[in-house]
Amino acid sequence: MQRPHPHPPPQPEPQRHDGIGPTTAGQTTKPADHDTRLTFYPAYAFKASATWSKWVKLTCLDIHTVLEHHEKYSQVTTSLGVDGRNPQGRQNDSPLLLFYLNHPIQFVQVIGVVVALEDFFERFWLFKIDDSSGAIIDVTCPKPEKKQAELLAGSSNNAGTKRATDAAKKSDSRSRSNAKSNPNSGEGEEASEEEQLQHTFSLLDIGTTVQAKGTITTFRSTRQLSLLRLNILPTTTHEMALIASRTQFLSSTLSRPWVLTREEQRKLRDEAQHERDEDIERAKRRKTREVKRREREERHRQVIEKEYKRDEMERKRAGEEARAWGAVLKGDRRKRIKMSGPIEEGSR
């Protein structure tokens, strides 16, 4: 009979492909260290990146540990901050510009389960997503100004909050029905997206599997997701399809450095220079229009001032003439009174 081995045989180590390890607690999906040969391209080249205008699927652990700042772009935010846009009026903090290797990332999406849901009465909603990556992320959704006013007018207890939520649901349904009945009302896509987001948020509950999209901000040195889009995943099939898509994008794009050829860099530089020249030309035309507008307003002011002075002189002349005629009429009346006095005495 064969005797057992005193020590168990060594187990082979799991192999890793392309430097990508499993997403478990304490481990990230960060590839091998490429910092020594990474090339960070100028900001005008970001639009050529596969991650710049895309909802990049990442895990919570990746957002907290893998995405990094770069000193060259420490003062640059996302296109939302650069353009000064305020999507749906709900962006309070400047979104962060972060890099996965040298891929610029401004929009991310997270797939996971809601494990906590909090209602900060006056300002915003906050919920936490756990995607089993070893970390969770806070997702914030500021409340609309109208809803803030409604909540401030109500009571602060749970019953009042529930009534406000029910009223919000009814208002959302009414607004959607109005939008359907009047598609040309001019509300715009932003209003419909805002209404859809608020409606989806009203259906949210602990244990719901969601797909949250937004930008990355910080609160007390901790990264969080500022919500822009929210989808509730109806089945596990949808969740697994999104996770498979995330894994595929990670292996095909994120795990490899972003490389631009010299020809592509030259083309992007020429486009950026052309856009800069157009901006300068537009600024010159805007300045010229402003100067012409001021000159036109000055001419109009002078014309109005001359007309006013002429009218004042005409009114003054008319007033003096009226006073003169008044004096003449007053003198004639006195003469008639004096002349009528002796006639009355003679008749007596």
DSSP string, 62-77: IIIII-B--GGGTT--
Q: At what angle do helices 188-202 and 158-181 cross, to 10 degrees?
A: 140
Residue 141 binned pLDDT confidence (cut-offs 50, 70, 90): confident
- What is the full DSSP assignment across 235-294? SHHHHHHHHHHHHHHIIIIITS-----HHHHHHHHHHHHHHHHHHHHHHHHHHHHHHHHH
- Write down the pLDDT at residue 207: 92
Question: Is 96 in contact with 168 (CB distance < 8 Å)?
Answer: no
83-87, 137-141, 263-267, 308-312: range with lowest mean pLDDT: 83-87
Q: So where are the chain's domains?
A: 35-258, 261-339
Winning range, highest mean pLDDT, from 36-45, 142-151, 339-348: 36-45
pLDDT category of residue 13 using cuts at 50, 70 and 90: very low
SS3 45: helix
C-beta neighbour count of 176 within 10 angstroms: 14
Contact 110, 137 (CB under 8 A): yes
Average pLDDT for 135-150: 75
Report which of 108, 30, 104 is spatially closest to residue 73, judged by C-alpha positions. 104
The pLDDT value recorded for residue 163 is: 43
Q: What class has domain 35-258?
A: mainly beta
pTM of the model: 0.61
